[in-house]
Amino acid sequence: MNSQSKKMELLGSVSVPKALLAMGIPTMIGMLVNAFYNLVDAYFVGGLGESQMGAISVVYPLGQVVVGLGLLFGNGAASYISRLLGRGDKENANKVASTALYSSVSVGAVIIILSMVFLQPILKLLGATDSILPYATIYAGIYIISCIFNVFNVTMNNIVTSEGAAKTTMCALLTGAVLNIALDPLFIYVFDLGVAGAAIATAISQVVSTCVYLTYILRKKSVFHFRIKDCTYSKEIMSEIFKIGIPTLVFQILTSLSISLINNAAGDYGDSAIAGMGVVTRLISMGSLSVFGFIKGFQPIAGYSYGAKKFDRLREAIKTSVLWSTAFCVIFGVILALLPTAIVSQFTKGDAEMIRIGAASLRANGITIILFGFYTVYSSLFLALGKGKEGFILGACRQGICFIPVILFLPMVWGLNGILYAQPIADVLSAIITVFMAIPLHKKLNEMQKQILQ
Rounded to two decimals, the pTM is: 0.81
Quote the CA–CA distance of 275 and 290 in Å, as a whole number: 23
Sequence-distant (≥ 6) Cβ neighbours of residue 280 within 8 angstroms = 344, 358, 361, 362, 365
Give pLDDT, residue 3: 60
Q: How far is CA 269 from CA 208, 277, 283, in A?
A: 39, 11, 21
Phi and psi (nearest 5°) for 421? Answer: -105, 10
CA distance 374 to 378: 7
Write down the H helix ranges in 308-371: 311-338, 340-344, 352-368
Q: Are 289 and 281 within 8 A, CB to CB?
A: no
Contacts of 221 by beta carbon, 8 Å cutoff, 6+ apart: 3, 165, 168
Helices (H) and strands (E) in the chain, counts: 18, 0
DSSP per-residue letters across 53-94: HHHHHHHHHHHHHHHHHHHHHHHHHHHHHHHHHHHT-HHHHH
Say which DSSP state 349 is in: S
DSSP 426: H
Q: Are 271 and 263 in contact (CB under 8 A)?
A: no
What's 398's DSSP letter?
I
Average pLDDT for runs of 10 along the chain of length 454: 65 86 82 74 86 89 85 88 87 94 95 95 91 95 94 91 83 88 94 95 94 92 90 93 87 87 91 91 90 89 91 95 97 97 91 94 97 96 90 92 95 94 97 96 92 78
What's residue 234's pLDDT?
93
State the Cα angle at 207 between 205 and 208, rounded to 5°.
Answer: 65
- Other C-beta atoms lying within 10 Å of the C-beta of residue 274: 30
Q: Are 53 and 348 a contacting pair, CB within 8 Å?
A: yes
- Domain locations in the chain? 13-453
> Could you tell me which of 318, 361, 354, 403 has the C-alpha nearest to residue 20?
318
Question: SS3 for 271?
Answer: helix
**Burial state string for 186-198 with b = 16 or more CB within 10 A and e = fewer than 16:** ebbeeeebbbbbb
User: Angle formed by the axes of helices 50-87 and 16-46, to 10°?
Assistant: 160
Q: Are 293 and 30 in contact (CB under 8 A)?
A: yes
Of 240, 224, 245, which is closest to residue 95 (Cα–Cα)? 224
Q: Is residue 426 exposed (0-12), middle (13-18) or buried (19+ Cβ within 10 Å)?
A: buried
